[in-house]
Amino acid sequence: MPSLFDPIQLGAIAAPNRILMAPLTRGRATREAVPTAMMTEYYTQRASAGLIISEATGISREGLGWPFAPGLWTDEQVEAWKPVTDSVHAAGGRIIVQMWHMGRQVHSSVIGGQPVSSSATATAGQAHTFEGKQDFETARPLALDEIPRLLADYELATKNALRAGFDGVQIHGANGYLVDQFLRDNANFRDDVYGGSIENRIRLMREITERVAGVAGADRTSIRLSPNGDSQGVDDSNPKALFVAAAKALDEIGIAFLELREPGPNGTFGRTDVPKLSPEIREVFSNPLVVNSDYRSAEEAQAAIDSGVADAVAFGRTFISNPDLPERLRTGAALAVDNPRTWYSQGPEGYIDYPALETAEA
């Protein structure tokens, strides 16, 4: 059975260990979604990960409603990402970008128009905006003649990711965002080819993945799904059937790896009413399967690999406060604790000021 510290081939990417850095929204870009110099230092500090999956990065202004999150739809954004990827590579690391369309999880004050989704629905609660939290708004359904434009946005973002020097891309298909809103039958009430049956509801995910893989190559394409739920009120009446079908479709495309966000009973955004579906997905997905959500120790992660379900583990919060996490896990060193108040605070505090083990010990 492989060790957490053994190398793994993730499509075209040779990862030196099976400790991946999960995508983590941090809010350190500019108001125009342009990466900053501070982000170069942040990612470089974490280059010892087997693979860095970047924070969720908008494919378009329509799709990016999180204040101070980065984007990949303008030349300025592409140029600002280049120092990040160059520095990570110089430090011996590998980094892919997670491409994000938030769907209805945005506010018009940020994107400059009405949110879009699979159907005319709204999320309960409030959206993050530049002016603080505001009530979510009702989204308008994407029209059939808009789907080609959406696919073109994903294609452009993929081309821009490669121009920016990323080693590959990940499609954000989880956590109640646009792709998830098309997948789930409590958010998708369409009566066209993108709604109704499971086959129809996975259609947009398949088309996006095929378009992205056509640009980056399937061996540099991955996707994140959240089969046992999320914190955004997006559910399904039969998640097992839905996500097994989705995994089969992704397996047919031949993507490099599939990442599953599966919160447990004590997760950061945990829920317990839907069991983890990774064992069933493992049966139909033949390439590497990566599991994620609130893993905090080498023992927990190794147990997931030893079970035969997972090939690698993506760590989230622990990478915030432990930039050299693989070494800490390897040596059994104590893990520093992060401060949630600094997750999205724009400054260096809680971002680039967590010391590596050698500095901390000194």
Rounded-to-10 torsion of CA 235, 239, 242, 246: 90
Measured in residues, the chain has a length of 362
Dig out the tokens for 12 from the structure.
């075209």
How far, CA to CA in Å, does 361 sit from each of 46, 332, 348, 352, 357? Answer: 18, 14, 21, 17, 6
- What is the rounded CA–CA span in Å between residue 275 and residue 140? 32
Determine whether 296 is exposed, middle or buried from the number of CB atoms within 10 Å of its CB (0-12, 13-18, 19+). middle
Q: Which of 177, 194, 295, 351 is catalytic?
A: 177
64-99 exposure pattern, b = at least 16 Cβ within 10 A, e = fewer: bbbbbbbbbbeeebbebbebbbebbeeeebbbbbbb
Active site residue 42: no
If residue 358 lies in a helix (H) or strand (E), which one and from where to where? helix 357-361
Tell me the residue type at 319: F
Nearest CA to 44 among 85, 81, 5, 15?
A: 85
CA distance 290 to 305: 9
Q: Give the residue numbers annotated as catalytic, written as ranges.
A: 177
